[in-house]
């Protein structure tokens, strides 16, 4: 499964963790353990003023129903893909449709997260905006790139 970009993950990490207790009772999702209290703490961005971090904290902890809906769509697409590839007989048409549905759902999540980052950056002062965006871009560029998978020898 593709991973959500670090830019989006940094911004929505607090919101994604803070949303379940606010939007839905935990009894509705028994398979998910309750998040620890420390997980609801919004991420502070180094170099951003206290006022800027307050704005970013509010963005991170504000529930986003659209993101929740997109996440459910992505999970449903992933579940369809898993069902298609775990079947005793693999139907390539079902696998192809599930892969495309998963790609579309993940693209929608990434696009929504990009829109949230842009909206959050617009709320900040010029100095904070630059620091916030540079922090996100540098964090993304410093992620280690996974090594390519070794090729299987041909018999």
Asked, for residue 66, whether it belongs to a domain, the answer is yes
* pLDDT tens sequence across 41-65: 778 888 888 888 888 888 888 888 8
What is the spatial distance between Cα 90 and Cα 113, in angstroms, rounded to a whole number? 34
Asked, for residue 42, whether it belongs to a domain, the answer is yes
In the chain, the number of structural domains is 1
Q: Residue 40: pLDDT band by 50, 70, 90 thresholds?
A: low
Q: Can you tell me the mean pLDDT for 55-77?
A: 89
* pLDDT tens sequence across 81-103: 999 999 999 899 999 999 999 99
Q: Chain centroid to CA 24: how far?
A: 19
Give residue 95's domain range: 6-141
Please give the structure tokens belonging to residue 56: 């970013």
Q: Domain containing 38 — which CATH number?
A: 1.20.120
Asked, for residue 19, whether it belongs to a domain, the answer is yes
Percent of the chain with pLDDT over 70: 66
User: pTM of the prediction?
Assistant: 0.59
Asked, for residue 100, whether it belongs to a domain, the answer is yes
Asked, for residue 150, whether it belongs to a domain, the answer is no
Asked, for residue 49, whether it belongs to a domain, the answer is yes
What is the spatial distance between Cα 138 and Cα 87, in angstroms, rounded to a whole number? 42
Within 8 A by CB and 6+ apart from 121, the residues are 129, 132, 133
């Amino acid at each position: 499964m593709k991973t959500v970009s670090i830019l989006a993950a940094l911004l929505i990490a607090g919101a994604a963790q803070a949303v379940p207790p606010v939007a839905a009772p935990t009894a509705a999702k028994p398979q998910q353990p309750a998040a620890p209290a420390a997980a609801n703490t919004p991420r502070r961005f180094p170099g951003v003023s206290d006022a800027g971090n307050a704005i970013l904290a509010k963005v991170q902890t504000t529930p986003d129903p659209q993101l929740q809906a997109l996440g459910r769509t992505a999970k449903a697409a992933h579940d369809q893909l898993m069902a298609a590839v775990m079947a005793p007989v693999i139907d390539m048409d079902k696998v192809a449709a599930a892969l495309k549905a998963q790609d579309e759902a993940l693209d929608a999540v990434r696009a929504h997260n990009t829109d949230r980052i842009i909206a959050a950056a617009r709320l900040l002062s010029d100095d904070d905006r630059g620091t916030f965006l540079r922090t996100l871009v540098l964090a993304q560029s410093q992620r280690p790139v996974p090594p390519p998978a070794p090729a299987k020898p041909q018999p």
